[in-house]
Amino acid sequence: MSDPTNDATEPADALVQPASPVLRDLLSRFAGRVLAVSEHRGDATAIVDRAALLEVGRHLRDDAACAFDMLLDVTAVDYLGRRPRFEVVYHLLSIDRNDRVRIKVPLEEEDLVIPSVVPIWAGADWLERETFDLYGVRFDGHPNLKRIYLYEEFEGHPLRKDYPKEKRQPLIGPGAVRRDPMNDDLTR
Amino acid sequence: MSDTHGHGHHVEEEEKPVAKARPIEPTEDSLDLPFEPMELKMGPSHPATHGTVRILLKLDGERIVHSEVEVGYLHRGFEKECESGLWYQAFPYTDRLNYVSPIINNVGYALACEKLFGIEAPERAQWLRVIASEVSRMSDHYTCLGACSLELGAFTAFLYAVEAREQLWDLHDALCGARVTTNYVRIGGLSMDVGRDFRELAKERLAAAGKLQQDLEDLLLSNPIFLDRMEGTGVLPKEKLIELGVTGPVLRAAGVPYDVRRAQPYLVYDRIDYDVPIGEAGDNLDRFLVRIEELKQSRRMIEQCVERMPEGPVDVDDPHVRLAGKGRVFERMEELIAQFKIVTEGPKPPVGEVYQAVEGGNGELGFYLVSDGTGRPVKCRPRSPSFSNTQALSPMIDGAMLADVIPTFDMINMIGGECDR
Amino acid sequence: MAARVVTVDRRSLRAKGGAFGARAFAKGLSVTWRHFSRNLMGWVRGTPTVATVMFPEEDVVKPAAFRGMPVLVQMDDGKERCVACGLCEWACPVDCISIDPAETPDPIERHPLRFDIDMGRCMYCGLCEEACPEEAIVMSDRVEISAFSRGGIVWNKEDLLVPQDQLARRLDWIRRSYDR
Ligand code: SF4
Ligand code: SF4
């Protein structure tokens, strides 16, 4: 597979016809808005323009030939040093049809906003909060967009590639004194 | 058992065969009282929740009018750690996702990596992985059932379940030398083969666990107090569960036979015989019974596997992926060089991304991996069943009685390490 | 070979408990009584049947595969087998090994001048053992790491060296299990 997001600007019909009927359907129905499709290692993947996300999502859930009734996962990937830098990734499952599809939406760093899919799959609630927490992607229309794992005072978004692993956060709360862990005699 | 009130709860659907809805009607007196909901904060460390989670409850008497679940107390940055290490260095971290069924996480991650690399583990490794996964699943279910009975006041049942779990952890021990932090599976194989005595050991331990499970069932399943607290509590219609992304025994208890092992068979699951149990009412009792039945099925699967497992290598013969044996490294230069390359640079997958799901103890456990062709992952994301399942806790307990929080939370079986990653 | 879908039986449970749960009550008592009397007899006869042991007076039998703390193999001449190649340092996911290599009088050998393992961070994963080309670092059956300060949990070379005859079982196991 060539790098998926590098193809993001190419028209979708430049690609060969995918084997997955869902991808073929998406390509014909949302021509120009489904930016690319791929089937690397058998995983059906569609790169979708942000403006079409909700429409594509509704179609995938409601159309009987798609019936993707479960949203398994929402996450983001940070390709630091590439444009667009971020990608929000959705994994969908159709229980009745026993099929999976992955939807990816490329996002620029300066404009890290994407419509929330909570109205389509209620289960996106916590998953989107997590992505917001760890990557700083804002989900437009989310009912309760706040940090889920980290505390409100946390600065930055730790899963971004430019967030150093060793970075220390200021301590909060009463008695916020940092002690030297190696020379801290526990008997005292 | 404590004297708690398990009766009286709103159940949306009246046509359910067994779940009985016995709503408490407000009386004249109760309407006169000034109404101000009481706030109750359960957790983060609460004796009746086996997981670090905080549940904020708004109560009207004993009825929950609003609930909110806060997770994240066990967030350790799994993804960040994995991204900063080599592909093979993530295995010990995957143990710590769902730490009561660690080998399933190992297997899930290894399968995802193998899909990414485009390789397949040898036959014997696949059978061993099925054995190891089912042993792990059993230990997960025993923990869940035991903790549930403990938190409902049945301490003895908890002891039997934990003793049964010990039997299974002896099998972990024989497989990989650790009971909990297993680090057993590797990309393209297993860290080590099992000894010849494993078959006898497995049969003996499974029989011992089976006896203890029978005792557990005898203690609980016909006990009216237990039934009162489990029956009809924590019900959500299956459409709602699917919408919320709930998988595993909770979804199966609601009558949806979705099991990754059956729907998209991996390893050798399509070559062994087993049943997928489902429930009919989708309440906590069904979730309990589904787990009890799954334990029996797992036992059946392991018994088949130890009999039918073929001899052979447990590692792919690929010097770019797996280390050579110690004896060969000692004696030959090529193997020594390969050893240095694999340890320092790590095996390098081709560019690409994959998602691979396995059936974890609590539902679909998936790994989404992105590779840029180097020895370090760009993204290593577990799709953890506990996270999505815990999300469904709030809708399940809203409108129910305070005492129903405990069995519902127990049957969701939120595992902090997996939920908070 | 296939997976069948079966529905669990929940309807008969109440009836099995008998009127007012009397039968369930009797059954529960018989189960606990059976366990109690078996354990009591085991205690009287001196063949315990309980699952727990009285640690530290009693110790459990650890299997050959057991992974305790990593230790360094000391050869019969008192020197370490390690040649300070640094592979274990690379392989360790939590970076808890730190080695200062040095030359030895023997021109073709090196050895670690300093070899520290921060046991507070070590997670007994065994990747160092797997990476070591010399069988010089192995997982022992030691598990006790308590110390009075966090600095005290950092073990240096002298703490880590264990004579190789004490590790014979494990060395044998490594050869067998890692050989493919
Ligand atoms: S056992 Fe694991 S964590 Fe401990 S020193 Fe070895 S590689 Fe590091
Ligand atoms: S890998 Fe073995 S030989 Fe190399 S430094 Fe570590 S212990 Fe010494």
Residue whose CA lies nearest to ligand 2 atom number 1:
C132
Residue A32 distance to chain B (closest CA, Å): 23
H helix and E strand count, chain A = 3, 7
Count Cβ atoms within 10 A of the Cβ of residue B196 and give its class: 0-12 exposed, 13-18 middle, 19 or more buried: exposed
If pLDDT is split at 50, 70 and 90, which confidence band does B31 have?
Answer: low
Q: Give residue A9's pLDDT.
A: 38
H helix and E strand count, chain C = 6, 7
Residue whose CA lies nearest to ligand 1 atom number 7:
C92
- In chain B, what residues touch A3 (CB-CB under 8 Å)? 351
B113 has pLDDT over 60: yes
Mutate which: B212, B311, B343, B380, vs C, most C CBs within 10 A: B343
pLDDT in tens, C88-125: 888 898 888 988 888 877 777 788 888 888 888 888 88
Is the same domain home to C36 and C92? no
Is the same domain home to B56 and B163? no
Q: For all residues of chain B together, what is the average pLDDT?
A: 84
Report which of C153, A177, C51, A15 is spatially closest to residue B163, judged by C-alpha positions. Answer: C51
Contact check, Cβ <8 Å, C150/A187 = no
pLDDT in tens, A53-85: 888 888 888 888 888 989 999 999 998 888 888
Question: Could you tell me which chains touch chain A, where touching means 3 or more CB pairs under 8 A?
Answer: B, C
B20 has pLDDT over 60: no
pLDDT in tens, B79-106: 998 888 888 889 999 988 888 889 999 9
Mention every residue, 6+ apart, whose C-beta is less than 8 A from residue B324: B335, B338, B339, C180
B124 has pLDDT over 50: yes
Q: Give residue B316's pLDDT.
A: 81
B16 has pLDDT over 70: no
Is the same domain home to B64 and B96? no
Between the CA of C95 and the centroid of ligand 2 the distance, in Å, is 14
**B147-161, B214-228, B256-270, C55-69: the lowest-pLDDT one:** C55-69
Q: CA-CA distance, B29 to A78, in Å (whole number)?
A: 59
Mutate which: C94, C145, C150, C156, vs A, most A CBs within 10 A: C150
Q: Which contiguous run of DSSP H or E holds residue A91?
A: strand A86-94
B15 has pLDDT over 50: no
A11 has pLDDT over 80: no
Q: Is residue A154 included in any domain, yes or no?
A: no
Q: Give residue B19's pLDDT.
A: 46
pLDDT in tens, B372-411: 888 889 999 999 999 989 999 889 888 888 888 888 988 8
Torsion of CA B101, B102, B108, B111, to 10 degrees: -130
Q: Give residue B3's pLDDT.
A: 41
Q: How far apart are the first and last CA of chain B?
A: 34
Number of domains in chain C: 2
Contact check, Cβ <8 Å, A126/B391 = yes
Q: Give residue A179's pLDDT.
A: 58
Rg (CA), chain C: 26
Q: Give residue A32's pLDDT.
A: 81
Is the same domain home to C28 and C91? no
If pLDDT is split at 50, 70 and 90, which confidence band does B58 have?
Answer: confident
Range list of H helices, B256-414: 260-263, 284-308, 326-331, 333-345, 385-391, 393-397, 405-412
Is the same domain home to C154 and C103? yes
Mutate which: B86, B250, B269, B326, vs C, most C CBs within 10 A: B326
Ligand 1 proximal residues by C-beta, below 6 Å: C 70, 91-92, 94, 96-97, 117, 122-128
SS3 state at A68: coil
Asked if B75 has any chain A CB less than 8 Å from its own CB, the reply is yes
Complex ipTM: 0.84
Is the same domain home to B65 and B6? yes
Number of domains in chain B: 2
Nearest to C5 among B90, B276, B327 (CB): B276
Between the CA of A175 and the centroid of ligand 2 the distance, in Å, is 43
pLDDT in tens, B250-296: 999 998 889 898 888 888 888 898 999 998 888 899 999 999 999 99
Q: Is residue C113 included in any domain, yes or no?
A: yes
Report which of B169, B195, B164, B194 is spatially closest to residue B182, judged by C-alpha positions. Answer: B169
Which domain, by its residues, includes A121? Answer: 21-140
Name residue B366's beta-bridge partners: B357, B383
Under 8 Å between Cβ of C8 and B293: yes
Give the B window 224-253 contacts with C, CB below 8 Å.
224-225, 227
CATH number at C138 reads 3.30.70.3270
pLDDT in tens, B318-330: 777 777 767 677 7
pLDDT in tens, C70-85: 888 888 887 888 888 8
Q: Give residue C148's pLDDT.
A: 84
Q: Give residue B10's pLDDT.
A: 45
B11 has pLDDT over 50: no
Name residue B60's beta-bridge partners: B63
Q: Is the CB of C132 under 6 A from ligand 2?
A: yes
Between the CA of C155 and the centroid of ligand 1 the distance, in Å, is 13
Pocket test for ligand 1, best of C95, C117, C128, C170 (most atoms within 8 A of CB): C128
Which domain, by its residues, includes B194? Answer: 78-118+121-315+350-420
Q: Is the CB of C87 under 6 A from ligand 2?
A: yes
Is the same domain home to B55 and B83? no
If pLDDT is split at 50, 70 and 90, which confidence band does C154 have?
Answer: confident
Nearest to A1 among B258, B352, B355 (CB): B352
For residue C178, the 8-state DSSP code is: T
Q: CA-CA distance, B185 to B203, in Å (whole number)?
A: 22
Q: C-alpha distances in angstroms, B50 versus B47, B143, B144, B412? A: 7, 10, 9, 11
Q: Give residue C5's pLDDT.
A: 82
Residue of B nearest to A42 (CA): B354
Report which of B240, B266, B263 is spatially closest to residue B251, judged by C-alpha positions. Answer: B240
SS3 state at A55: helix
Q: Give residue B108's pLDDT.
A: 92
Q: Is the CB of C101 under 6 A from ligand 2?
A: no
Pair of tokens at residue B323: 């280390």
pLDDT in tens, A114-144: 999 999 998 898 999 999 999 989 998 888 8
Mean pLDDT, residues C140-152:
82
B2 has pLDDT over 50: no
Under 8 Å between Cβ of B126 and B268: yes
Is the same domain home to B49 and B100? no
- In chain B, what residues touch A61 (CB-CB under 8 Å)? none
Name the more confident of B180 and A186: B180
CA angle C64, C124, B306 (to 5 degrees): 45
Q: Give residue B342's pLDDT.
A: 81
Under 8 Å between Cβ of B298 and B167: no
Mean pLDDT, residues A146-174:
84
Is the same domain home to B200 and B168? yes
Task: Annotate A28-42 with DSSP letters as a single string.
Answer: HHTBTTEEEEE-GGG
Q: Is residue A152 included in any domain, yes or no?
A: no
Is the same domain home to B412 and B376? yes
Q: Is residue B343 included in any domain, yes or no?
A: no
Is the same domain home to C157 and C95? yes
Give the C window 115-154 contacts with A, CB below 8 Å.
148-151, 154
Q: Is residue B326 included in any domain, yes or no?
A: no
Q: CA-CA distance, A171 to B45, in Å (whole number)?
A: 22
Number of domains in chain A: 1
Question: Within 13 Å of residue C62, how many CA atoms lie on the same side as its CB?
Answer: 18
Which domain, by its residues, includes C107? Answer: 70-178
Q: For all residues of chain A together, what is the average pLDDT?
A: 81
Q: Which contiguous run of DSSP H or E holds residue C15?
A: helix C13-16
Nearest to B368 among A40, A89, A161 (CB): A89
Percentage above 90 pLDDT, chain B: 18
A183 has pLDDT over 70: no
CATH number at A116 reads 3.30.460.80
Q: Is residue A74 included in any domain, yes or no?
A: yes
CATH number at B150 reads 1.10.645.10
